[in-house]
Structure 1
Amino acid sequence: MRTDPHREITQLRTDTDRRFKKVDQRFERMDKRFEQLRADMNQRLEQLYRAINTQTWKMIGGIGLIAVLGRLIERIRTLSGATWDRERNPMPVSIE
């Protein structure tokens, strides 16, 4: 019994299209999943960057404040006439 070649080709094409459609659907699902994972990772990295950036600026501000206060203390000591022996005592020796 002989089958129609056109019919076989059509059937083969239909089967192939169906298989490729299933594979395409799987890839689309995986693409969506990876896209969700990528978006989640980007959000987490952004949160981490913000936290580090905030802490960095706080530390820079703290160091700047310490430097400004140090200069202010030295000026107050200079204006008050305090003599300061830095090698022996970190505090003013006498105020004259």
Structure 2
Amino acid sequence: MAQKLPADFEEKLASFRTFVQTKIREIGLRDSDIINMDEVPLTFDIPMNRTIDAKRKDTITIRTTGHEKSSFTVVLACSADGGKLLPMIIFKRKTMPKEKFRGD
């Protein structure tokens, strides 16, 4: 269940929109300058939690890459004019990799 909105939320929302629109005009921002972004955590390997094998078998082997706990973050962003920015990938490592990555 979501929280209940305050009784005067429409008034507060209208006031906030007016404030933001005034600031955008004062600064001279274009829609392409206004960016919304979000981070999405992902894992390299997601082992299945169900298996199929013969009945009454004591042990079932599940093959994985060994990276079930390794993760990375993808940053996605778009601008107010509808433009999409290139995704950014953040790897969590203690040491820097020796390989060079493309920089475009």
Same topology, TM > 0.5: no
Relative contact order (alpha carbons < 8 A, sep ≥ 6): 1 or 2 greater?
2
* Category of TM-score, reference length = shorter chain: under 0.3
User: Whose strand proportion is higher, 1 or 2?
Assistant: 2
User: Whose helix proportion is higher, 1 or 2?
Assistant: 1
